[in-house]
Amino acid sequence: MKDKGFKIGVCDWNLGKKSDPGCFEVAKTIGLDGVQVSLSTTDDNMNLREPEIQAKYLAESQKQGVQIASLAVGGLNSIPYKSDPRTEQWVSDSIDVCKALGVKVVLLAFFAKGDLRGDHKGIDEVVRRLKKVAPKAESAGVIFGIESWLSAWETKDIMDRVGSEAVKMYYDVGNSHNQGYDIYEEIRWLGDKNICEFHAKDYNNLFGKGKINFPAVRLAMDDIGYRGWIQIEGAQPLGLVESYKYDTSYLKKVFYSK
Q: What are phi and psi of 37, to 5 degrees?
A: -100, 155
Task: Give the pLDDT score at 44.
Answer: 78
Q: pTM of the full predicted structure?
A: 0.97
What confidence tens digit (pLDDT) does each residue in 85-116 have? Answer: 999 999 999 999 999 999 999 999 999 999 99
Q: 197 lies in a domain?
A: yes
Helices (H) and strands (E) in the chain, counts: 9, 8
Number of domains in the chain: 1
Instruction: State how far the Cα of 135 lies from the Cα of 213, in Å rounded to an integer.
Output: 37
Query: Which residue range forms the structural domain that includes residue 192?
Result: 7-255
What confidence tens digit (pLDDT) does each residue in 151-170 have? Answer: 999 999 999 999 999 999 99
The residues, any chain, with a CB within 8 Å of residue 65's CB and separated by 6 or more, are 28
For the cut 70, the answer to whether the pLDDT of residue 1 exceeds it is no
Q: 1 lies in a domain?
A: no
Q: 121 lies in a domain?
A: yes
Residue type, 158: I
Beta strands per DSSP E along 79-134? 105-110
CATH of the domain at 92: 3.20.20.150
DSSP assignment letter at 74 = G
Task: Give the pLDDT score at 4.
Answer: 86
What confidence tens digit (pLDDT) does each residue in 180-238 have? Answer: 999 999 999 999 999 999 999 999 999 999 999 999 999 999 999 999 999 999 999 99
Angle, CA 125 vertex, CA 121 and CA 131 arms, to 5°: 145
Q: 113 lies in a domain?
A: yes
The residues, any chain, with a CB within 8 Å of residue 113's CB and separated by 6 or more, are 77, 78, 79, 80
For the cut 70, the answer to whether the pLDDT of residue 172 exceeds it is yes
What confidence tens digit (pLDDT) does each residue in 110-150 have? Answer: 999 999 999 999 999 999 999 999 999 999 999 999 999 99
Beta-bridge partner residues of 170 = 197
Q: What number is the average pLDDT over the span 227-256?
A: 97
Q: 90 lies in a domain?
A: yes
What confidence tens digit (pLDDT) does each residue in 72-86 have? Answer: 999 999 999 999 999
Q: 2 lies in a domain?
A: no
Q: What number is the average pLDDT over the span 12-24?
A: 96
* Residue from 90, 162, 172 nearest 126 by CA: 162
Task: Give the pLDDT score at 116.
Answer: 98
Instruction: State how far the Cα of 195 lies from the Cα of 12, in Å rounded to an integer.
Output: 21
